[in-house]
Amino acid sequence: MLLGHFHPLVIHLPIGLLIGVAWLEVIRPRARGDARGAHGALLQLAAAGALAAVATGWRLGLEDGRTGDTFRCHRALGFATLALTVLTWIAHKQSRGATHAGWLGAYRWLLAVSLACMGYGAHLGGTLTHGPGYLAEALGWAKQSSPRNLQAPKAAVLPDAPTEPSTYAAAVAPILAARCASCHGEKRQKGDLALHSMEALIAGGESGPVIVPSDAKASALIGRMRLALDDDDHMPPKDKPQPTEQEIELLERWIQAGAPFTGQVSGIEPLPLPKESSPDPVGAATTEKQGPSAELLARLARDLVHAQAPADEPGAWWLDFSAVAASATDRELGAWLDSMRAFVVEVNLSRSQAGPLALEACRQAPLLLRLDLRAAPSAVPHLALLAGHPALEELNLARTGAGDAALVLLLSLPRLERAILWEAGLTKEGLEQLRAERPELTIVTGDEAPAAALESEGEIALSGDAPVLSAGAAQRSDLSPINKLCPVSGQPIDARYVIVSEGRAIGFCCEKCPASYWADPAAYADKLP
């Protein structure tokens, strides 16, 4: 099983060697002596590297259960590159001893074909790893129809008026994402079957359609789930999180109703998915228990992105972009988020230029529980990218002006518990609709009556270090903070979060920053007056 994991390492050896031989051919007329003397050794090594790449790639494909036209073409091009490299080496060897130019011409022709075959095979390998369109996006060539295009499709853009999400989007898609997408998603399709989109679900896999509208019993999707757990054909595999009886029954009712992808199906309500069933996005690192590497954390710190692992949530990470919110582009935010998407549970994008790339990275973060888009209106046109996120529990849309169009997103999030919507532009009618359809949802609009104080603190001694003070204590004139900007985040301080350190009152922007300060006060000494 270990053999296949060496494929990404050895694949670059024949690529570099073939390119090197081609470059030597280009400079040979200007080189001193016969520059082709080393070509044979390089081609021999390239052939050996190609053999290792094919062997490890074959094993990796078996381990991952890879199928599909892209994978098969990539595999065929790998074998073709191996054969062409060997033939190129033979032609080069013959050309050095032949008296006619035939072998030399054959050698050069075979070298060119080997490079072309290898190049396209490498492109398909990148497509398997990063998804279709990854190269076109980097070059700015991505079209609207590209599956990897991160712009929200026109059909998914939030409408101007409140519209109820379809039963498929609100109730069916989250189950398929949680239970099936790790093997049948955008980048990995065992048995040529993908279940991450309406089009893929309709298309079925190599064994044919998986749903038969109006006939749940004849639908392979249900049949596989209903098989005994130890049956080889049971899906999901027994070592994967299994759908509950309620989830299977919901899928059955939806199929029996005709499997509609638009509109509502009476009697079907979204189910709360258990926390442990949050899907592992296809292609995401499976090292979330190990956490991000030291190199990645160092790069984030160098880029002024605050990454922190709360002590009460081991393995979970919080990302705060406050320090770069005004200057970072959507592409930069998306890149940072994508590098941490397997680990983050909380993301602060407030006052940032977050757009489709940043929101797409958030959509692919399987553990994301809390997302702050406060005062980030550039994210509003792309909120549809977050629709149906199976884990999101808290969403802050304050001061975005999203309007009633945000109802579509809010109603599509199956586990949403808290929505912060002050100055979000929702109408009274829109809020009433949201409260009626999601009575369990805590909605913060800013017009709630202040809660009565349950108790008050006594006098707080000013000698020595003290913990974070309450809002009431922080208003005392003798505890006026010495700073105006938070030493941790660089944001304006909030009078509710003040500590006393070495006889000085120090203010912070939120309840989390004091913990960072106490961990290493000396690190922030130069950021205080």
Candidates 382, 321, 61, 296; CA nearest to 190 is 61
Region 294-444: CATH code: 3.80.10.10
Q: Assign residue 155 a region: left if phi > 0, alpha if psi is -120 to 50, beta otherwise?
A: alpha
CB neighbour list of residue 98: distance below 8 Å, 6 or more residues apart: 104
As a whole number of angstroms, the distance between CA 360 and CA 370 comes to 15
**Given this model, what pLDDT does residue 152 score?**
34
Does residue 381 sit in helix, strand or coil?
A: helix
**Token reading at 376:** 């980030």
Distances (CA, A) of 396 to 332, 339, 350, 406, 461: 21, 23, 9, 11, 37
CB neighbour list of residue 89: distance below 8 Å, 6 or more residues apart: 40, 43, 44, 46, 47
Does residue 286 sit in helix, strand or coil?
A: coil
**Given this model, what pLDDT does residue 321 score?**
94
CB neighbour list of residue 345: distance below 8 Å, 6 or more residues apart: 313, 316, 317, 318, 367, 368, 369, 370
**Given this model, what pLDDT does residue 375 score?**
93
Q: Assign residue 61 a region: left if phi > 0, alpha if psi is -120 to 50, beta otherwise?
A: alpha
As a whole number of angstroms, the distance between CA 164 and CA 155 comes to 14
**Given this model, what pLDDT does residue 251 score?**
92
Please check whether residue 346 is in contact with residue 312, taking contact to mean a CB–CB distance below 8 angstroms.
Answer: no
**Token reading at 362:** 């958030």
Tell me what percent of the chain is helix, strand and coil, each rounded to the nearest 5.
50, 10, 45
Q: What is the pTM of this model?
A: 0.38
Candidates 99, 137, 178, 144; CA nearest to 388 is 178
Q: Label the pairing between strands 344-348 and 317-320.
A: parallel
Ranges of residues in the chain whose predicted pLDDT is under 50: 1, 31-33, 142-163, 275-289, 459-466, 468-477
Longest distance between any two alpha carbons in the chain, whole Å: 102
**Given this model, what pLDDT does residue 271 score?**
78
